[in-house]
Structure 1
Amino acid sequence: MNGVNDPPLFIKDIKPGLKNLNVVFIVLEIGRVTKTKDGHEVRSCKVADKTGSITISVWDEIGGLIQPGDIIRLTRGYASMWKGCLTLYTGRGGELQKIGEFCMVYSEVPNFSEPNPDYRGQQSRGETGFKLAQNQGDASFHMLVEAMAGDLQIHSYKEQLIIKQS
């Protein structure tokens, strides 16, 4: 797919199963450290480019070096699903290289790491919507689930989702 010298891929074009990815992004948020059974440290970081945002899983000492505002080039990364969410990883022989700070055009939406029924294995849309609604406290999300059930109207205006109660 993407060779080391190829131009970076946009976040919007990342799909589960893609390998050898080159992506340039800005770090927006760094999650708390989680320790694995075998002593590794893992952090989930929210990153973005001009096309949207995604979560990247960063392991061990490199995770402690990354700061919000860092502009980073990921080489030889891959994308996979983790707990129903699209996630970026550094692949074997891959690397994260800081190439700048703070000055990058980015968009937090759409967030491609939000649960997506299209990527869910065998769950039906109804099961997915119900399970997501149970885990989500956001009122607009509940309205979206109701809209899927036919109780609300959904309109798209200039790439913004507008939900109106019927």
Structure 2
Amino acid sequence: MKVSELKPRASATVTVKVLKLGEAKQVTNKDGSLHKVSDVLVGDDTGSILMSLWDDNIGKVSENDVIDVNNGYVSVVRGSMRLTLGREGKMEKSTQTIENVNTENNLSDKKVEDTGYRGGGFRRSYRRY
């Protein structure tokens, strides 16, 4: 999969180059737990996107690293797409190389509608008589 093919609220397996590391910020989760998050600009020859790295994953990449993101997820944050590892995703340094990255097509700069739909089909309700 290429960066330009990423869609909101979809799973993603993609190889990207790390272009710029963002500052880590401390955030409080809904349950009150503290976490660190950093937005990292990544991309390939078709486009770029911000990738949110959480906690221990923040220190695992450096600028110019090429990483394989397997079973990641494209979330929508305030109308902007973000690549994230989610619950099931994994990232590792890649054996591939990416020379040129298309930063003109930054998917995180494009506003998308956040429908809140997370998939899984439709709900059925059953009545007992």
TM-score range, shorter chain: 0.7 to 0.9
Task: Structure 2 unaligned segments of length 5 or more: list them.
Answer: 116-129
* Bigger proportion of residues as helix: 1
Distance 2:6 2:67 in 1: 16
The answer to whether the 8 A contact 1:71-1:104 is kept is no
Q: CA deviation at 1:99?
A: 1.4
Larger displacement relative to structure 2 (40-49 or 84-93): 84-93
Q: CA deviation at 1:85?
A: 0.7
Distance 2:113 2:60 in 1: 33
The answer to whether the 8 A contact 2:43-2:103 is kept is yes
The answer to whether the 8 A contact 2:76-2:114 is kept is no
* Aligned counterpart for 1:18 among listed residues 6, 10, 15: 10
Pair 1:114 & 2:109 matched: yes
Q: Deviations over 1:86-133 (max 9, x none)?
A: 1111032211101158753321121010032xx2359xxxxxxxxxxx
The normalised TM-score by structure 1 is: 0.62
Report 1 or 2 for greater relative contact order, CA contacts < 8 Å, sequence distance ≥ 6.
2
Would the alpha carbon gap of residues 86 and 65 (structure 1) be closer, same or farther in structure 2, given more than 3 Å must change?
same
Q: Deviations over 1:32-77 (max 9, x none)?
A: 1111222211100000101010011001111112111000000010
Task: Structure 1 unaligned segments of length 5 or more: list them.
Answer: 1-8, 123-166
Distance 2:97 2:64 in 1: 5
Pair 1:90 & 2:77 matched: no
**Bigger CA radius of gyration:** 1
Distance 1:63 1:27 in 2: 12
Larger displacement relative to structure 2 (95-104 or 53-62): 95-104
**Root-mean-square deviation over aligned CA pairs:** 1.9
Distance 2:18 2:34 in 1: 25
Counterpart mapping for 1:65-144 below 5 A: 65-100=60-95, 103-116=98-111, 119-121=112-114
Distance 1:90 1:121 in 2: 19
The answer to whether the 8 A contact 1:49-1:105 is kept is yes
Give the total of aligned pairs.
Answer: 111
Would the alpha carbon gap of residues 115 and 72 (structure 1) be closer, same or farther in structure 2, given more than 3 Å must change?
same
Q: Percent identity?
A: 28
Distance 1:58 1:46 in 2: 11
